[in-house]
Amino acid sequence: MVITGGNRGIGLATAEILVAGGAKVALVARSREQGEAAAARLGENAELVVGDLADRAGVAALAGELKERFPDLRTLVHNAGIWPSERVLNADGFEQAFFTNHLAPFLLNHLLEDRFRACGSTVVQVSAGLYVKGRVDPDRTPTGRDFHAIRTYADTKLANLMMLPLFAERWKDAGVTVNALHPGVIRTGLGDRRGPVGLLLKLVKRTWQPPEAGGRPVARLVTDVPATSGAYFEVDEETPLAPVALDDSLARRLWADASAALDVA
């Protein structure tokens, strides 16, 4: 099992639950130091894969290493995500959150697709209930021309979630299952800020659930794979996607734009 962003927060909590159940887990982390500490904490059934989902080159390098090290890649959890406070463009010219939260898992799915098909893999997208507040403008959102310190996170999570039905359709005859979930309102470092706003956020987060609470539904979706594919779960309950995520025309435009920009079929 491979978990991106597996060195802390929900990713690490998910890995702890899976390892406790006897699974072997690979943690993908940008920081070797933090990743090694997380893997050591989990014991001999955990290992580190250093990988960065910040740009196209990083995703390609990660995909290559995963293929080399894990020919039997049966489970991938897309957990890595960011919530930036300001507009930053990555090496490819995309707004960073749009790339990391949306394009990186899209590209990784394509680069690993042959393994998924060969193994009948399970793919899980860790999403966010805030997607319902998102609005994606395919001419502005990819480069952050409509960047907003709060709304952009919702926009990018919406874009990622709109790919769910399309991947499910693409893989329906390949034995590959892809589902997504909102794990709850969880106390992690995501979206942390400096200054007075950051202090207020820390106080608010004290009322939120710990990472372990978010790890449980992710681990359940990995170990108790539903018969359906393309489903969305609010914690443990399968829930219909909100209308904002069901715009098929926009979803296909986002898919086509991503495919062209990333040179994947």
Mean pLDDT of 116-131: 96
CA separation for the pair 173, 124 (Å, rounded): 18
CATH superfamily of the 2-262 domain: NAD(P)-binding Rossmann-like Domain (3.40.50.720)
- Contact status, residue 121 vs residue 73, Cβ threshold 8 Å: yes
How high is the pLDDT of residue 140? 98
Domain ranges of the chain: 2-262
CA separation for the pair 178, 250 (Å, rounded): 20
Of 265 and 190, the structure prediction assigns the larger pLDDT to 265
3-state SS, residue 242:
coil
- Contact status, residue 99 vs residue 84, Cβ threshold 8 Å: no
User: 1-15, 114-128, 178-192, 227-241: which range is least confident on average?
Assistant: 178-192
- Position 227 pLDDT exceeds 50: yes
How high is the pLDDT of residue 205? 45
Question: For all residues of the chain together, what is the average pLDDT?
Answer: 92
- Contact status, residue 177 vs residue 225, Cβ threshold 8 Å: yes
Query: 232 catalytic, yes or no?
Result: no
CA separation for the pair 263, 265 (Å, rounded): 7
Query: DSSP labels for 19-74?
Result: HHTT--EEEEES-HHHHHHHHHHH-TTEEEEE---SSHHHHHHHHHHHHHH-SS--
User: 36-45, 179-188, 196-205: which range is least confident on average?
Assistant: 196-205
User: How is residue 119 written in tokens?
Assistant: 């193994």
How high is the pLDDT of residue 206? 56
> Exactly one of 99, 116, 153, 167 is catalytic; which is it?
153
User: How is residue 205 written in tokens?
Assistant: 């987060």
